[in-house]
Structure 1
Amino acid sequence: MQINLHSKSLKNNPIWYKLKQNKMTWVGLVILGLIVLLSLAAPLISPFDPNKIDLVNKFQPPSSEHWFGTDEVGRDIFTRILFGARLSLGVGILIILIAAVIGIVIGTISGYIGGIVDTVIMRFVDMILAFPNLILAMALAAVLGPNLQNAMIAIAIVKIPVYIRLARGEAMVLKEKLFVKSAESFGLNKAVIIVKHIIPNAISPVIIQATLDVGDTILLIATLGFLGLGAQPPTPEWGAMISVGWTYLLTYWWYPVFPGLFLFLASGALNLIGDGIRDVLDPKSAR
């Protein structure tokens, strides 16, 4: 009886109903789920070491032994793509998590306190947002030095202002709400009000933006890797693989095509999932 009641409550849940109706979200979830499962099972699926050089078998075309062929030093491309998925997806999610947490804390403080604090923070945010994301990320990564850690820092700095503005806007609305005014009238500390009342109620748009940003962040990581400002050889990262492989496109097409295909599928799947979460959490986006 409890199972039936649970099933009925799940069926009547508006969030579950919206997700069930959005078929493209499920397509994204299936694609992303397959990529994640393949990456986690990489040692079981492929017998090859992603970084082991085998010059005898360099530039082997796709075959039953090397499903996606081999690269210029004989490494199995399929294996490197699977291990690269761990890196690209993990780093992309980590960057957005860091940017969202920092952004919502700074944004809610700025929006709630206002005054000179808000002015200083927002002028800094406007200065960063004045530059295109890719150009600023390239400049920061070049200044910090070409490696994956510095590329992560550069992209996080580029992404943080977006979350600051979102959280600030929500905080400015929330601080006029009755429950916040009541908390103030009881003499609660501003820090307590921000942590217990402002941040929990301002987090919804941040979550929506974060889910949409993961795909874009993975593309930024790949772009910096392609330009030589991200992960360095022999790290199996999709952008770095494409960076080397595109020079062989006309003769050994499989080298850049397969990493590019996985990059396209992963970013597309994440965008589909982000659209679905936005439709669920944001009532203004109802179709």
Structure 2
Amino acid sequence: MSTEVVVQVPQKRKAVNPFWFKLKKNPLTLAGLAVIVLILLASVFAPLITSYDPTKINIIERFGAPSAKHWFGTDEVGRDIFTRILYGARLSLGVGVAVVLGAGFFGTLIGAISGYFGGRVDLAIMRAMDMILAFPSLVLAMAVAATLGPNLQNAMIAIAIVKIPVYVRLARAETLVLREKLYVQAAITFGLSSWRIIFKHIIPNAISPVVIQVTLDIGDAILVVATLGFLGLGAQPPTPEWGAMISIGWKYLLDYWWYPTFPGLALFLASCGFNLIGDGIRDILDPKNNR
């Protein structure tokens, strides 16, 4: 009598992305991500959502209250506020993200150069960064934007200058540790050029804290862009930009509450969304939280 032994071959389990797995366990981060995705989709498909022109003047409908025709009401020259918020999201979010990514790129590169070469190069770079950090960030951004001239491009330059020192210090601190690692010392021994070592071995391994800082800074950059617009140093009328809309709308707050309220609410939601995403990514990428 023979007995057959049936061997069950275990099926391959699908690989689980640890980043996505940890992200799903954080409901606040998912909520922030949902808010930002919703705002981005609304801004991209704004022509399909609304038929109004964000800059077209219609004096007959000035200061119209929220209604089925104008969901968020109209402004002092009859422009649809809901439409201007949708188109303004492209500007406010796009500028905030672009400024932070630019500051992160140049700051990381400068910080890696400073930490790797050391000596007088490091001293000169860090003293320059200390000079920038000695001033309150908003005050310095206002001064630079006012000096260069009140427009959106100059406001972006001003915010980038204020943000760069943070990334320089982060990248420099990581570089000081990485340049003592065995693989970096081996690369030096084999005669690799300093620039190749910086771009191939230093920056890729120093990028994690920079990514965390970038996600945390986007919300703040959006607020600074709006602040400069509020002060008249950013986007100029009739460009639909949240800060500029609030700057004009707050004068009519008591009589026409919807004018500054809805742009302010959009700014609040976008800033909170990016901050929640940044906190979640920090928790995921921070080695201290993975122990």
Distance 1:180 1:36 in 2: 41
Which amino acid is the alignment partner of residue 169 of structure 1?
A
Q: What is the SS of the residue equivalent to 1:8?
A: coil
Q: Percent identity?
A: 69
1:31 paired to 2:27: no
Partner of 2:6: none
Q: What is the SS of the residue equivalent to 1:9?
A: coil
Distance 1:9 1:239 in 2: 45
Distance 1:148 1:114 in 2: 36
Question: TM-score normalized by structure 2?
Answer: 0.95
Partner of 1:154: 158
Which amino acid is the alignment partner of residue 224 of structure 2?
L
Partner of 1:169: 173
Question: TM-score normalized by structure 1?
Answer: 0.96
Match of 2:108 among 88, 94, 104: 104
Partner of 1:8: 14
Map 1:237-256 to 2 at 5 A: 237-256=241-260
Q: Kindly state the Cα deviation for residue 17 of structure 1 after the two structures are TM-superposed.
A: 2.1
Partner of 1:124: 128
Q: What is the SS of the residue equivalent to 2:88?
A: helix
Distance 2:287 2:35 in 1: 26
1:186 paired to 2:185: no
Map 1:60-139 to 2 at 5 A: 60-139=64-143
Note the alpha carbon deviations across 1:144-191, whole angstroms, 9 max, x for none. Answer: 000100000000000011100000000000000011011111111111
Distance 2:290 2:118 in 1: 32
Match of 2:60 among 46, 56, 60: 56
Give unmatched runs, 5+ long, in structure 1.
Answer: none
Which amino acid is the alignment partner of residue 131 of structure 1?
F
1:40 paired to 2:24: no
Q: Kindly state the Cα deviation for residue 8 of structure 1 after the two structures are TM-superposed.
A: 2.6
Match of 1:231 among 224, 235, 247: 235
Map 1:191-210 to 2 at 5 A: 191-210=195-214
Q: Kindly state the Cα deviation for residue 284 of structure 1 after the two structures are TM-superposed.
A: 1.8
1:263 paired to 2:267: yes
Which amino acid is the alignment partner of residue 133 of structure 1?
S
Q: Kindly state the Cα deviation for residue 283 of structure 1 after the two structures are TM-superposed.
A: 1.7
Highest Rg: 1 or 2? 2
Q: Kindly state the Cα deviation for residue 286 of structure 1 after the two structures are TM-superposed.
A: 5.2
Q: Please tell me the root mean square deviation across aligned C-alpha atoms, in Å.
A: 1.2
